[in-house]
Structure 1
Amino acid sequence: MSDRDDPEIIGRRVQQLRVERGLTQRQLAEPAYTAAYISTLESGRVRPSDQALRHLAGRLGVAFDELATGRPARLVTDLRLRLIEAQRTLATGDTEEAAHSYALLLAEAEELQLAEAQYDALIGLGEAAVESGELVEGRRYFERAELVLADAPLPARVPALRGRALAHYLAGELRYAVYLLESTLDELNRGGLHDPDALLLLYASIIGPYMDMGAHARAAQAAELALALAPQAGDPALVARMHRSVARTLIAEGRVAEADASLAKAAELYRGLQLRTELANCHWMRGYVCAQNGELERAEAELRQALAMLSAKRAALYSSQAAVELADVLHRRGKSEEAAALLHDVLGDLSSERGAVHSAAAHRLLGIIAEDARDPETAEEHYVRALSLLERAGAAGDLADLCRLLGDLLRREGRVEAALDAYRTGLGHRTAPGTTTLGPAPAQPPL
């Protein structure tokens, strides 16, 4: 039971403050209440209404919240300000420093019994852990955050749900990540909980998993809904993240110029907000756009900048993912040795439990490099490892492409039956493009 719900605690607090200020019960009560009421309240025999507490707080010269809970208002305000500073540190500075700040703030919030502050601190700790590649730890923080606000409306819990989905996504558990995001979207939209910021965060977050699963139709639909929600959103960081995510679907549709324009908008917003990690991600995606458009020199420059920014911020998992993209561009520019060295470093940081899709991408590219070096045995080994990772992750589009590469290699080696098996596996993943095997798409918001 909280202090606010305990009449005895409030009564003792009112009596202590009255005595400290040299007031009689009658002086405290006038003009709205009687001395008898104050006597009954101070003895804990009556539960004061909010109206009564506001009157007493005014007479005693304290804030309503301080009188109702015993928490000095300045402590609460100071805690909130330091939470914002920790958020800024995470976005623009040192992940470890931000995590340390959030841990201290969480302890204070728990001592003061401030649920919302506990929630914000746990979200920050989860985001810092994910940026550092500690996906299991990050997921646990997000789960704790959900429990703290278990009785709050769903929109308030969306950042925790999205964080948990992100941790599963980066661990290669694509289907479960999509399930979490789709079910939350469905509940929000069917329940009429039209919160633009919450919906925008969810739609922007689900585009990546959809793309990796080969569900391009749903990714495109999510991008359209995100664009429609953007003008209503109050958080510019969310709008920037949306522009970056939408660029992926534009690339898939061959709308390179529009994708580049979307990323330019995101970069401008992030630069203004000084969100270094997200700005690095913009350079990362811009490099990807350039690579798809054949502008390899510019792609290399953009990806090197992204990698340098992410490494400086110690965002280990994101750094590894950007490194895979850079290695692909280096290989295409004839710098295969540098690309292979970069990929081997990446594989030292990634595993099947941590960045499965990008670990598979590293093995795939190492296989291609080995084929170019006329080393089919090593190439096959990398392709098979990538195949195993992608099958567990459910990345259908990547799986089909990898099966084609493996089948072509086996065919050139004269192993026709094995090649046919690889092709059949790939065709099996091409049979239902644009689906997630999760049933109907979530309900749409009333735009």
Structure 2
Amino acid sequence: MRRPNESAQVQSFGARLRQLRSERGLRQLDLVGDNISASYISLLEAGRRVPTDRVIHHLSEQLGCSPDDLRIPTEDTSLRSAAVQMKLARAALLVDAISEAESWYRRVRVEHQDNHEVSQEVEFGLARAAELAGRPAEAAERYQRCRPADADLSYPHQLGVALGLVRSLARCGDADGALIAADHALRQISEVGLAVSDVAVEVRAVLASVLCKRGDYASAQRPIAEALEIVPAIADHRALADTYWRAGMAAYETGRIGLSLELAGWITDADAHDYGHTLGMLRAVYGGLLLRQTPPDPEKAREMLELAVTDLDAAGTVAEAMHCRSDLIRALIMLDRWQDARTLADEALAHTATPPVERTRARLLRATALSLLGDLDGARADCVSVHMDLQAQPTGSQTSQLWSQLGEVLTQLGDTEGAIHAYRCAINGLSVDVPPTLLPSSPRRGGTRQSANGTPRRPLESGS
């Protein structure tokens, strides 16, 4: 008696046999052998007989092909193929071949859309790809879709989803969401036995960066201090691997098979816990905090940020490295090293992989450096470009912050009306009422303002 899907498989074998025979210009009679007649071959091609392994080997020899070219792919072989494709996708992510990785994942999703486990793997892979490609909003949405699987004890990406969500929410400007996700991730990290680990440092670094962006520098000092206490303990990679191994064994013994598999994978996966990347993140946040504390320490910040850029460049995290460069440019400006700041901004703008937000930020900083160097036309041109970029970007806290920075640069250039317009856009992006002082009014002549060296100068014409 045939199994339920056997008929479809036999028909598929017959069609393949007939195709291979026709391609080679052979007759059914040319394939006969020991106890294999032409009529039997006809029945095989008609899908009315099930071939044995002996028959398949004989036919493959006569056709000059591999037995696998004739065999019917079973569900097991199909899943093995999917596993190979997803490993290739993962490998593509490791070498920054993002589009190739996404193609592999999407192909697997189409071929195995009814397989829940495969779909879970594909969704996590696409979330990671979006994050690495500098699309944090999309990445956050995909990581959110992965979260319901946290309750599944066999799900092997519980920690990866938690960390990815924290990073993505922070990068797309959702400070409230990032803080909630970071709190959840820290509790989860502690519960699984990784309180002293690289991921504990990473989450604290992201948490501190979010707090700094909100202007809460006092609160940012605590996660930075905690992270700095952990760093010496994780410098030994063997000891760090032992921490993951013990956490994985504990998870296995309590029935959390998926978490155990994930932690074991982190030991052998070189990309899973990159110490240099984690240290670079921490240095970048610490350098940014040194710039924004009262009083600021731009020289120490410069030293820390230069180390961070080296770490992040080596880790291949373009978005984080470019954001760190922005703070480094700011430090150079504060140190009156305006030409160095301009050169670094030029390099960031020339880099094709610089994300749009960081490109806008670098252009704003270059405008500041140019104005201090006396190149007012160049500064105005950069402000015009920034204005156009911001008009094309969706509203939100991150865009509002950039509008506000544009207002500061235009104020420095003496463009009062342009600055008011930029500040108005910043406030509108936050969906709050515009103060009367920023409401549109009839043009009026601005007063004189002080230049960088303290001498009075007339306001400049609007560059936006």
Please indicate, yes or no, whether the TM-score normalized by the shorter chain is above 0.5: yes
Q: Which stretch of the first structure deviates more once superposed, 379-388 or 324-333?
A: 324-333
Structure 2 counterpart of 1:244, from 284, 296, 299: 284
Rounded Cα–Cα distance in structure 1 between residues aligned with 2:177 and 2:192: 22
Higher alpha-carbon Rg: 2
Structure whose residues are more often helix by fraction: 1
Aligned counterpart, 2:131:
127
Q: Which has the higher contact order (CA 8 A, sep 6+)?
A: 1
Q: What per-residue deviation string (whole Å, max 9, x for no partner) do you get for residues 60-97 of structure 1?
A: xxxxxxxxx9468975774464244222343xx6x545
Structure 1 residue 235 corresponds to structure 2 residue 239: no
Name the aligned partner's letter for residue 263 of structure 1.
Answer: L
What residue is the counterpart of 1:283 in the other structure?
325
Tell me: CA distance 1:190–1:132, structure 2 relative to 1, closer, same or farther (3 Å).
Answer: closer
Provide the residue aligned with 2:219 in structure 1.
Answer: 218
Listed as ranges, the gaps of 5+ residues in structure 2 are 1-74, 235-239, 241-272, 447-464
Q: What is the rounded CA distance, in whole Å, between the counterparts of 1:109 and 1:286 in structure 2? A: 47
Q: Which residue of 2 aligns with 1:34?
A: none
Cα 1:261–1:139 change in 2 (3 A) is: same
Report the secondary structure of 2:394's partner residue.
coil
Shift of 1:347: 0.6
Count of residue pairs brought into register by the alignment: 323
Structure 1 residues 288, 375: closer, same or farther in 2, change over 3 A?
closer
Quote the offset at 1:132 in angstroms. Answer: 3.9
The residue aligned with 1:264 is 306
Question: What is the match of residue 385 of structure 2?
Answer: 342
Structure 1 residues 170, 276: closer, same or farther in 2, change over 3 A? closer
- Structure 1 Cα separation of the partners of residues 156 and 368 of structure 2: 39
Instruction: Give the match for residue 45 of structure 2.
Output: none
RMSD of equivalent CA atoms = 4.1
Aligned letter for 1:308?
Answer: A
Note the alpha carbon deviations across 1:343-371, whole angstroms, 9 max, x for none. Answer: 12321342214xx33x2243334434555
2:358 to 318, 337, 345: 318
* Residue in 1 that maps onto 2:68: none
Once residues 194 and 183 of structure 1 are traced to their aligned partners in structure 2, the CA distance between those partners, rounded to angstroms, is 13
1:113 counterpart SS class:
helix
Contact 1:366 1:382 in 2 (8 A): yes
Structure 1 residue runs without a partner (length 5+): 1-68, 393-401, 415-447
Displacement of 1:192 after TM fit?
A: 5.6
Return the offset for 1:119.
5.8
- CA deviations 1:396-436 (Å, max 9, x no partner) are xxxxxx99x979x9xx999xxxxxxxxxxxxxxxxxxxxxx
TM-score (normalised: structure 2): 0.57
Where do residues 346-357 of structure 1 align in structure 2 (5 Å cutoff)? 346-353=389-396, 356-357=397-398
Distance 2:317 2:168 in 1: 20
State the AA in 2 paired with 1:121: G
Q: Does 1:85 align with 2:91?
A: yes
Distance between the aligned counterparts of 1:377 and 1:97, measured in 2? Answer: 48
Letter in 2 for 1:319: R
Mark the CA change 1:304 to 1:161 in structure 2 (over 3 Å): closer, same or farther. Answer: farther
Match of 1:306 among 334, 342, 348: 348
Give TM-score, length-normalised by structure 1. 0.59
Letter in 2 for 1:298: D
Change in Cα spacing, 1:337 to 1:186, as seen in structure 2 (3 Å) is: same
- 1:381-400 residue pairs with structure 2 within 5 A? 381-390=421-430
Report the Cα offset of residue 173 of structure 1.
3.2
